[in-house]
């Protein structure tokens, strides 16, 4: 397994959650794609907890299209909570 500094963590309502290799220039969409996309139960808000402890929330449009595709850094954690109907 790669060291903590070289991965991003994808958790929650992704088809294949887990750690993924981080690459220079990686974006939120790249991480979503690496994790196989979102499940049918994914919420339209994604949370990114950065390695420095700060957190940001990004909204998706219906159909799971990002309204913003920010870069992510090694050690970041991306969370897609479950949407409860």
What CATH code is carried by the domain that includes residue 51? 3.10.560.10
Q: What's the whole-model pTM score?
A: 0.86
Element holding 72 (H helix, E strand): none
Q: Give the residue with greater pLDDT, 84 vs 57.
A: 57
Q: Residues with Cβ < 8 Å from 84, sequence gap 6 or more?
A: none
Span 1-13, pLDDT tens digits: 544 459 999 999 9
85 belongs to a structural domain? no
* CA distance linking residue 59 with residue 6, whole number of Å: 26
Domain of residue 65, residue span: 4-80
Q: Is the pLDDT of residue 65 over 90?
A: no
**In contact, 20 and 35? CB cutoff 8 Å:** yes
51 belongs to a structural domain? yes
């Amino acid at each position: 397994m790669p060291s903590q500094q070289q991965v991003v963590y994808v958790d929650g309502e992704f088809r294949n959650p887990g750690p993924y290799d981080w690459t220079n220039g990686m974006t939120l969409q790249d991480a979503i794609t690496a994790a196989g996309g979102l499940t049918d139960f994914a919420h339209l808000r994604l949370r990114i907890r950065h390695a420095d402890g700060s957190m940001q929330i990004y909204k998706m449009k219906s159909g799971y299209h990002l309204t913003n595709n920010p870069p992510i850094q090694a050690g970041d954690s991306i969370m897609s909570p479950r949407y409860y109907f």
